[in-house]
């Protein structure tokens, strides 16, 4: 089985693209994730969706909007995170929240994704290869 992160981007349009993907294929969504981190002096969040593997090729994508949303704070509205939360409630899949290091901690962004895959496997959110 091949597992890869597919980066959509950091902007508003990218977040809404991820939400549209989730909303249009609710039966493929296995887990929804929020990775919280501290980057350039700000608390930010990446949102992601792990889909079930494809039947042909056994490819398991993890779509991610990397570190583009301010970390949600208790009692404060965050439009993009609230939209992600709304779609999670609509398809009845809980958001799993994890604190991780920033992608800028790593020399290469691919190393960051490899570390996240390892964390997800250790937490049984992704199956072993």
Write the pLDDT tens digit of every residue in 116-128: 999 999 999 999 8
**Residue 35 clears pLDDT 80, i.e. is over it:** yes
Length of the chain in terms of residues written = 129
State mean pLDDT over 12-41.
95
- Per-residue pLDDT, averaged over 14-27, amounts to 96
Q: What is the pTM of this model?
A: 0.93
Taking residues 4-21, what's their average pLDDT? Answer: 93
C-alpha 118/C-alpha 66 separation (Å) is 17
Q: What is the largest CA-CA distance in the chain?
A: 44
How far is Cα 125 from Cα 33, in angstroms, rounded to an integer?
Answer: 10
């Amino acid at each position: 089985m091949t597992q890869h992160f597919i980066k959509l981007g950091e902007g508003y349009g990218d977040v809404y693209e991820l939400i549209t993907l989730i909303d249009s294929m609710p039966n493929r969504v296995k887990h929804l994730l929020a990775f919280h981190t501290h980057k350039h002096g700000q608390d930010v969040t990446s949102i992601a969706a792990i889909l079930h593997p494809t039947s042909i090729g056994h490819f398991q994508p993890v779509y991610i909007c990397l570190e583009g949303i301010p970390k949600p704070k208790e009692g404060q509205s965050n439009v993009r995170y609230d939209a992600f939360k709304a779609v999670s409630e609509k398809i009845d899949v809980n958001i799993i929240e994890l604190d991780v290091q920033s992608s800028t901690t790593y020399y290469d962004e691919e190393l960051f994704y490899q570390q996240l895959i390892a964390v997800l496997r250790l937490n049984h959110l992704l199956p072993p290869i």
